[in-house]
Structure 1
Amino acid sequence: MTKLLNPQLQTHRAQLEEITKDLHELTIRIGHEEMSHTVSDLRNRLHEPFMFVIVGEVKAGKSSFINALLATGEEITKVAPQPMTDTIQQILYGEERAEVMVNDYLKKIMLPVDILQDIAIVDTPGTNTIVAHHQEITERFVPASDLIVFVFEAKNPYRQSAWEFFDFIQGEWRKKVIFVLQQKDLMPAEDLAINIQGVKDNALKKGMTIPHVFAVSAKQEQEGQTTQSGFGELRAYIQNHITGGQAPALKLINSVATANNINERIATGLDLRQQQYRADQEFREDIRETLDEQETKSYKQVDLLNDALLGAYDRITTKKAYELEGGLSLFGLLRRSVSSIFSKTPSAQQWLTDLAKEMEDELNGALQQRLNEGMIDLADSIQQMAKIIDLKIRSSKTILSNDHEIFSDIAERRENVLRDLQDQFSRFISKTENFTDESLFPDKKNLSPNLAAGSGIAAIGVILMTVSQIGMLDITGGLLTAIGLLFAGFSTRSKRKKITDGFRQEIAQGRQRLTEEVNSTLKRYIVHLKKRIDDNFLRFDDLLKREGVQLEEISIQQSNINERLATIANALAPLSRDLDGRP
């Protein structure tokens, strides 16, 4: 069977080696150092023997169990009253005995023991040890294991720390586990049977389908009481399920499962990351739409203000045009000339001057009133643009938390950018100069004396009123100057038509200037302010742009790995069912 499987296994192992190489590159790319180490270990151990990882609490008898299992007649792993295993010890086959200290936490022991040609045994620090880093390094070693041998103290296999570690093994890595109750010689058979069933029941509650529990005594085994020690049953299990030519296939199946587990965890993290990206895109689009909506609303307020100003302008100028035509008629001029001789009735020239002055006063009063009424609504509309954006920034949706298992750095970077955006925008709306940029009103020399009544976003109404007042003065002042020059040229009746036509022309031009002043100045202000608000999102936009590119590339890479792992898993599925007995 082994010879028939070897060519297939070699092909699949070569394929898996390439996949784990790409998976390793993916973990480096996403910046997850721990996962990168795990995949690197997995890849490096593909050509190593089937690996037993012995876990359990301190003083559960792990070291004695390993010494008895190997049956070399010597103490391979140290046994002492106090905790001795302060490193992970990987026991491998070697032609001669040797020890190699790989690093501070890993020692390799080479032994000329036949069983080690098919399996490697890893002795780990206790799950409840007080020595720093022991549980951490044990957890880092578990993912590359092929079988977890969970050693309990036979008289008390219910310690919380041990079962919490079991939850980690099952929940995080779904590793194949067998249970060993060590030191069975210290218990009555009836109590031992109760504890064996208790371990099975506990394992079933935690999701195992067929818990395998072995009760052994290393002491009895080493003293030659092999029929009572329980090691015979355990060795038979190992022979039937692992060393009987099945270890290479099982190791490959386990390695595929571990690689798939890691890739699935990346996929789950990517899904959350993509949800966050889509939420951020929607948030950004909502900001743009809100700015567009508020711009439209503000434009409507400008149009309403313009209509109100033009209504007042038309009413006053039309009335004055009728007065002018009536006063310049032949009868009107004759009556005024005769009356001026016998009374204090002003001359025609004086009358024209008074007419112009009355129109100026009425225009300034009426336009100022309409301006005051309309500017309140306009200022409120423009202020809402900034207020709504500020509220939306503060209520943006967070899906990917900064304590995420894989993408915590991405989540933290996003959180920092969003926090900076909040702070930046708060500063933006609190500074008056952000709403009084001279480039908005290049022809308005100085607005500062009028801004004492407001600060930050609250100054918008004052700014608009100030600028518009200056504009109104420019219009009415320019209009009256032109009309004054026109009236000053009056000397004969023959110029009556020229005066009235000129008056109507100047009125029409003033009306046009009024419309242009209101629309161009105020709408330009709205456009510029909208852009300034939107510019606060430049860093956030850059984050979104880079995130979109990275997500696409990482997703393609992860999907490719997933497809290749699925192909190998499907090819190995029949073999997996035969070896493991699982559907």
Structure 2
Amino acid sequence: MVKVVLQEQQRALLQRERSLASELEACLVGFEGADAYTNTLRQLTTFLDDLFLLVIVGEFNAGKSACINALLHQEVLEEGVIPTTHQITTIRYGEEQHERLVEQGVLEIQYPADFLQDISIVDTPGVNAVLREHEQLTEDFIPRSDLILFVTSVDRPFTQSERVFLERIRAWGKKVIIILNKIDLLRTPKDLAAVMNFVSENCKHLLGFEAQIFPVSAMLAQQARSALGHTAVDLWQNSRFGALEEYLFCTLDQAERVRLKLLSPLGVMQRLLSEINSSIEQRTALLTEDAHTVETIDEQLQLYREDMEQNFAHRLSEIENIILEMRARGDRFFDESIRLGRIFDLIQGERIRQQFEHEVIGDSAARIDQTVQELIDWLVEHEHRLWQDIMEYLERRRKTSVRRDNEMIGSVGRQFDYNRRTLLQSVARTASSVVQTYDRQTEAVELSQDLRSAVTQAAIAGASGIGLGAAIVAFVGTAAADVSGILAGAVILSLGLYIIPARRKRAKRSFEAKMDELRLRLRHAMTEQFQKELNNALNRVNDAIAPYTRFVRAEQKKTAAIQEQVNAINSAVTALHNEIEQIGA
């Protein structure tokens, strides 16, 4: 009845593990670099229904094959002082001894040992094997294991390669039993105690777990199988192999094997989740820096706009001041010229116009043209400087990014890394290209034509084709001529005492109104054209950085969604792990 309940419980737990593995696999769809995780998850679900898997690892010549032969009571595997295990060897139950190559690098041996009906054994190449592919085969097989027997030798206990390999397999959350082989080489129990203490302390301080150590002599155990009487008993006792068999075949009963079998895939999932979290954290950190880069450029563009608008207002006021000065001189001109004392001069309209041009207009046209040209040069120079600033900033950012990313290739994801670098470099190259090919003179000429055309069409109709200053002055001159002409005609008709002051007042009001109208229309036209040019400059920068910005935002959204899913799955895996740990407790 207990067995039936255990089987029901096991099936339910296995189903939950399969569901979690499927959720994690689905979560990683589209997450670049997740193929290796997906393959491991699929292996997990495939091997969940297999027999309890006992994996033997260790350096070559530590006696892995000898220990397995001692467990099987027969020399099933080849032994030697040089590497003899050239592939993964799985040993399963069979009515007769038989072997076959089931896949590349994996040999299956069937053998009629009773305990193999519940347990499968895997023999692996040495972790320090000459051929690196042997080590890779061993590491690929570790996630499938339910219990790992780590074989080390008293003559070379806990070597550097063994420590490194133990760190790797412990990261998979597997239960590890240490077999200290070849104790027959030690002279005294004190020597054995010293070696066991050495291995135990290294496990505790370097790997962080309390080691369960079985000191054995596989050679004496095998000799005991062929000896007789007291000799066989003595050899068996001296081999101390009985304690290992007691653990594997009795202590490790069905309930315990079920518990370890259930914990095994959860340990693998926790390892994968840890690696995925690490990759997500690194990716998130990079994307945060990328987002900061985009924000910094946006801030630079906003500050550029504010500075340009503020400086433009100052430069526009310089042009307006020239017009206001003309207006002031015009007021003085009318006050001084349109009076009874100059009645004969007023009759001569041409003379009045010449005097107006000399005293009111003066060099205003040249001053306006010069101020406008300075405005144009200022616009061109600042757009060029904007691209320079962006190029230099992105180049510093790119160098920092490359230096840091090189340390994380493989964990972050190569395609992700390639995409973000390519986009970042593309923006930097665009900025560099603009800076290198920027023809200030050509840009200034084109901007001058656009500005003059826009202003003259909006402010002084029909004045296109001449300089902006000349166009404005022509408008002013026309207004003055109209006023003086009207005045001259009025004087000829009547020389009444009150006519001239009235006409002077009317002329001043008309001239001032036209100057105000001109100033406002000029301000509106130039401001509109300036905003158009400013927006064009900023849009060119935004267009260059847009692909990079879209990539960063899309990856941030995708990464955040995966992080949320991974956290939920991790919580579920931890809860299930704790639940299984309580079985049989």
User: 1:483 offset after TM fit, Å?
Assistant: 4.5
- Does structure 2 retain, via aligned residues, the 8 Å contact 1:155–1:195? no
- Does structure 1 retain, via aligned residues, the 8 Å contact 2:259–2:581? no
In the alignment, structure 1 residue 297 sits paired with structure 2 residue 297: no
Q: Which residue of 1 aligns with 2:156?
A: 156
SS at match of 2:83: coil
SS at match of 2:127: coil
Counterparts of 1:289-368 in structure 2 under 5 Å? 289-334=299-344, 347-368=348-369
- Does structure 2 retain, via aligned residues, the 8 Å contact 1:281–1:544? yes
- Does structure 1 retain, via aligned residues, the 8 Å contact 2:28–2:562? no
- Does structure 2 retain, via aligned residues, the 8 Å contact 1:179–1:212? yes
C-alpha distance after superposition, 1:51-104 (max 9, x if no partner): 222111122221112111222x232x2223432212111222334444342322
Q: 1:209 to 1:361 in 2, by over 3 A?
A: same
In the alignment, structure 1 residue 230 sits paired with structure 2 residue 233: no
In the alignment, structure 1 residue 542 sits paired with structure 2 residue 550: yes
Q: 1:66 to 1:480 in 2, by over 3 A?
A: farther
C-alpha distance after superposition, 1:515-544 (max 9, x if no partner): 134312223211211111111111112212
SS at match of 1:133: helix
Q: Which residue of 2 aligns with 1:186?
A: 185
Q: Which residue of 2 aligns with 1:423?
A: 429
C-alpha distance after superposition, 1:197-219 (max 9, x if no partner): 21112111114442122222222
Distance 2:576 2:444 in 1: 65
Q: Which residue of 2 aligns with 1:521?
A: 529
Question: What is the letter of the counterpart of residue 147 of structure 2?
Answer: L
Distance 1:158 1:257 in 2: 24
Q: Which residue of 1 aligns with 2:78?
A: 78
User: 1:489 offset after TM fit, Å?
Assistant: 7.2
Q: Which residue of 2 aligns with 1:475?
A: 472
SS at match of 2:352: helix
SS at match of 2:363: helix
Distance 2:250 2:355 in 1: 120
Stretches of structure 2 that go unaligned for 5 or more consecutive residues are 225-234, 454-463, 493-499
Q: Which residue of 2 aligns with 1:67?
A: 69
User: 1:182 offset after TM fit, Å?
Assistant: 2.0
User: 1:348 offset after TM fit, Å?
Assistant: 4.3
C-alpha distance after superposition, 1:178-201 (max 9, x if no partner): 211222223323433322221112
Stretches of structure 1 that go unaligned for 5 or more consecutive residues are 338-346, 447-466, 579-583
Question: What is the letter of the counterpart of residue 519 of structure 2?
Answer: R
TM-score relative to the length of structure 2 = 0.83
Counterparts of 1:95-244 in structure 2 under 5 Å? 95-170=95-170, 172-189=171-188, 190-224=190-224, 225-244=235-254
Distance 1:516 1:244 in 2: 90
Q: Which residue of 1 aligns with 2:580?
A: 572
Distance 1:416 1:102 in 2: 44
TM-score relative to the length of structure 1 = 0.83
Distance 1:372 1:32 in 2: 59
Distance 2:313 2:285 in 1: 42
Distance 1:506 1:356 in 2: 16
Q: Which residue of 1 aligns with 2:13?
A: 12
Q: Which residue of 1 aligns with 2:460?
A: none
Q: Which residue of 1 aligns with 2:291?
A: 281
Distance 2:542 2:517 in 1: 37
User: 1:502 offset after TM fit, Å?
Assistant: 5.0
C-alpha distance after superposition, 1:100-148 (max 9, x if no partner): 4232222232323221222221111111111141112212221222222
- Does structure 2 retain, via aligned residues, the 8 Å contact 1:214–1:234? yes
- Does structure 2 retain, via aligned residues, the 8 Å contact 1:302–1:523? no
Q: Which residue of 2 aligns with 1:456?
A: none
Counterparts of 1:11-90 in structure 2 under 5 Å? 11-30=12-31, 31-71=33-73, 73-75=74-76, 77-90=77-90
- Does structure 2 retain, via aligned residues, the 8 Å contact 1:125–1:134? yes
Q: How many residues align?
A: 544
Counterparts of 1:366-377 in structure 2 under 5 Å? 366-368=367-369, 370-371=371-372
User: 1:363 offset after TM fit, Å?
Assistant: 1.0
C-alpha distance after superposition, 1:200-249 (max 9, x if no partner): 12111114442122222222111113222121111112234423542112
